[in-house]
C-alpha cells in the first residue's frame, strides 16, 4: 500500500527526532503552570505533542501546516465534484504529504474493501430503543466492533513490540474509518427513515458513498466531503481527541479509544453544540417571529434572554481560538454559493453580526466569535437532514480522520501511558500562601 510505505519512511525519521529530544533534552523546561490552569480544566498547559494539526488562537487550525483554504485547494478533487477526496485528508494527516491522485485513489480502493459492517453490530443497534440518542448508538456500534481489533489480537498473541505496534494500529484505523460512514448511515436510516438501509456502492468514494447511503442527492456528496474534512482534527487537547489519546495510551485499541472519544464528543459543550445551535435557532424563530426570519431587535432580545437564563449562546466561543473559526468561514462560503436564500441561513448570518458585540459586552467571554458549530447544522437542514440530534454523528465520522492518525503515531513513537499528577486543595492553598483556617472559622 502506497500510504503504508510512505508512513513507514516518515516514522523512522520521526523516531530519531523524538528519541533525541527525550535523551538529550528531556530536562529542558517549556512551561509554567498556574493555579487557575490546574483548577480551570488545564487550559493552555503544554503537555501533549502532535504534528497532525496545530490550532493557532489567532489564525485557526492548520492541518499538517496547511490552512483550510490550502487543504481544499491542494488535495485531489473527486471527479465531477467541487470538494476533495476525504481519503486524501486522511493521507495528508497521516503522512504530512499532499497525496497524488494515484495515492488517494489507491487508499480509496483499500478503504472500500473494508467497509462491510458486521451483522452483529446491526443486531445490537436494532435491539436498542429507537429513541436512544444516535450518539449512544454510534458509540455502542464502535465499541461492539472491538472484537475485530487486529491490534488487540496482535497484543494478546504476545507479538507486542514498540517497533511494529503501529502496523496493527494502522490496520484498525483503516477498518474503522471505512466502517464509520456505513455505521452512521445505518443508524440514520434505521432511526429516521423507517428502517430502509441503503447499501454501500463500491464505485463511490467515502463522501459520495455516505451521501448515497443517506439517500440524499447531489450536492450532498460534496457537503459530506467538506464536513468530514473540516471536522477531521483540532489539535490534541480537545475532549474527543484527548480522550482517544488517553485511552490509547493504556494500549487499548482503536475501538475502545474511539468509542470513549465519541462519549466525550456527545457533550453539549463539545460536539453536541451543532444540534444545540439548530434547536436554539428554531426556538428563536418560533417564539420571536412566528417561524419567519426575525428582525435584528427580536434576535437581540432572544440572545439576551438566553444569557440571562444562565445559558450559553451555542456555536459561539472557544477554549483556544480567539477569532472566527475558519471552519465556520469555509462552510459559510459554501452556504453563500448554494443556499443563500435559506431562511435559517439568513438567521445564522444575522447572528454573526448580533452575537459578538453582546458576548463582548459581558466582559468575561474570551472569544465572542462563531465556532464551526454555528454554521454546520443549517447546511445539513437545507439538504434534508432535519433530525438535528444526528449532527454530532456526522462530526464523529469526520473526527476519526485526525484522531485515528494520531493513535497510529502514538504507537509509532511509543508514547507513554498518560498519568498526570493531581494535588490537593490544601496544597494549592499552601503554595498560594493562604493561612490555614482554624476550626472555629470553618464552622462559622
Catalytic residues: 270, 318, 373
Find the helix or strand (DSSP H, E) in which 55 lies.
strand 53-56
> Which CB sits closer to ligand CMX, 277 or 385?
277
Residue among 258, 126, 113 nearest 187 (CA): 126
From candidates 373, 391, 400, 404, binder to ligand CMX by CB under 6 A = 373
List of residues 6+ apart from 205 with CB closer than 8 A: 78, 85, 86, 87, 108, 225
CA angle 366, 367, 368 (to 5 degrees): 120
Q: Does 270 bind ligand CMX (CB under 6 A)?
A: yes
From candidates 88, 207, 219, 314, binder to ligand CMX by CB under 6 A = 314
Residue among 135, 98, 419 nearest 264 (CA): 135
Helix 134-144 crosses helix 391-412 at what angle (to 10 degrees)? 30
Query: Residue 62 pairs with which residues in a beta bridge?
Result: 54
Query: From the CB of residue 278, how many other CB atoms can be counted at a distance below 10 Å?
Result: 23
Q: Does 233 bind ligand CMX (CB under 6 A)?
A: no
- From 137-145, 265-273, 407-415, 426-434, span contacting ligand CMX (CB under 6 A): 265-273
Minimum CB distance to ligand CMX, residue 210 (Å)? 21
- From 8-16, 76-84, 112-120, 316-324, span contacting ligand CMX (CB under 6 A): 316-324
Minimum CB distance to ligand CMX, residue 188 (Å)? 22
The grid cell for 242 is 484527548
From candidates 92, 176, 216, 365, binder to ligand CMX by CB under 6 A = 365
> Which CB sits closer to ligand CMX, 109 or 353?
353
The grid cell for 329 is 468561514
Minimum CB distance to ligand CMX, residue 423 (Å)? 21
247 class by beta-carbon count within 10 Å (0-12 exposed, 13-18 middle, 19+ buried):
buried
Residue among 397, 425, 367 nearest 176 (CA): 397
* Alpha-carbon gap, residue 270 to 240, rounded angstroms: 8
Q: Does 99 bind ligand CMX (CB under 6 A)?
A: no
Q: Does 308 bind ligand CMX (CB under 6 A)?
A: no
From candidates 200, 367, 375, 406, binder to ligand CMX by CB under 6 A = 367
> Which CB sits closer to ligand CMX, 191 or 327?
327
> Which CB sits closer to ligand CMX, 11 or 374?
374
Q: Which residues bind ligand CMX (CB under 6 A)?
A: 234, 238, 269-270, 273, 307, 312-319, 359, 364-367, 371-373
Amino acid at each position: 500500500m502506497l500510504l503504508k510505505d510512505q508512513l513507514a519512511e516518515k516514522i523512522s525519521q520521526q523516531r530519531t527526532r523524538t528519541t533525541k529530544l527525550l535523551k538529550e533534552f528531556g530536562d529542558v523546561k517549556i512551561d509554567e503552570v498556574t493555579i487557575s490552569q490546574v483548577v480551570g480544566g488545564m487550559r493552555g498547559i503544554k503537555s501533549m505533542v502532535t504534528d497532525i494539526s496545530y490550532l493557532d488562537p489567532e489564525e485557526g487550525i492548520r492541518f499538517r501546516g496547511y490552512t483550510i483554504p490550502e487543504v481544499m485547494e491542494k488535495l485531489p478533487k473527486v471527479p465531477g465534484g467541487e470538494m476533495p477526496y476525504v481519503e486524501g485528508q486522511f493521507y495528508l494527516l497521516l503522512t504530512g504529504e499532499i497525496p497524488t491522485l494515484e495515492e488517494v485513489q489507491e487508499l480509496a480502493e483499500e478503504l472500500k474493501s473494508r467497509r462491510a459492517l458486521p451483522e452483529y453490530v446491526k443486531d445490537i443497534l436494532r435491539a436498542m430503543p429507537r429513541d436512544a440518542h444516535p450518539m449512544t448508538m454510534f458509540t455502542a456500534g464502535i465499541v461492539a466492533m472491538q472484537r475485530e481489533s487486529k491490534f488487540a489480537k496482535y497484543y494478546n498473541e504476545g507479538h507486542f513490540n514498540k517497533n511494529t505496534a503501529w502496523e496493527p494500529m494502522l490496520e484498525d484505523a483503516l477498518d474503522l474509518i471505512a466502517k464509520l460512514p456505513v455505521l452512521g448511515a445505518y443508524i440514520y436510516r434505521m432511526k429516521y427513515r423507517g428502517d430502509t438501509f441503503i447499501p454501500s456502492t463500491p464505485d463511490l468514494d467515502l463522501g459520495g458513498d455516505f451521501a448515497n447511503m443517506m439517500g440524499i442527492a447531489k450536492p450532498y456528496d460534496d457537503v459530506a466531503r467538506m464536513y468530514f474534512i473540516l471536522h477531521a482534527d483540532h489539535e490534541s487537547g480537545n475532549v474527543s481527541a484527548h480522550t482517544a489519546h488517553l485511552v490509547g495510551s493504556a494500549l487499548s485499541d482503536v475501538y475502545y479509544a474511539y468509542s470513549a472519544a465519541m462519549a466525550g464528543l456527545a457533550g453539549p459543550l463539545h460536539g453536541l453544540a451543532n444540534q444545540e445551535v439548530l434547536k436554539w435557532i428554531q426556538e428563536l424563530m418560533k417564539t420571536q417571529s412566528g417561524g419567519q426570519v426575525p428582525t435584528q431587535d427580536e434576535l437581540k432580545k432572544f440572545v439576551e434572554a438566553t444569557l440571562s437564563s444562565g445559558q450559553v449562546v451555542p456555536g459561539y466561543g472557544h477554549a483556544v481560538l480567539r477569532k472566527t473559526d475558519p471552519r465556520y468561514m469555509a462552510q459559510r462560503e459554501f452556504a453563500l454559493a448554494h443556499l443563500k436564500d435559506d431562511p435559517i441561513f439568513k438567521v445564522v448570518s444575522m447572528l454573526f453580526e448580533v452575537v459578538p458585540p453582546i458576548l463582548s459586552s459581558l466582559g468575561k467571554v474570551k472569544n465572542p466569535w462563531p465556532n464551526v458549530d454555528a454554521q454546520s447544522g443549517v447546511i445539513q437542514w437545507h439538504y434534508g437532514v432535519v433530525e438535528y440530534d444526528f449532527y454530532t454523528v456526522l462530526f464523529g465520522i469526520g473526527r476519526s480522520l485526525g484522531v485515528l492518525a494520531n493513535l497510529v503515531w502514538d504507537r509509532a513513537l511509543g508514547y507513554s501511558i498518560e498519568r498526570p499528577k493531581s494535588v490537593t486543595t490544601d496544597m494549592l492553598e499552601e503554595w498560594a500562601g493562604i493561612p490555614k483556617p482554624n476550626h472555629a472559622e470553618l464552622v462559622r
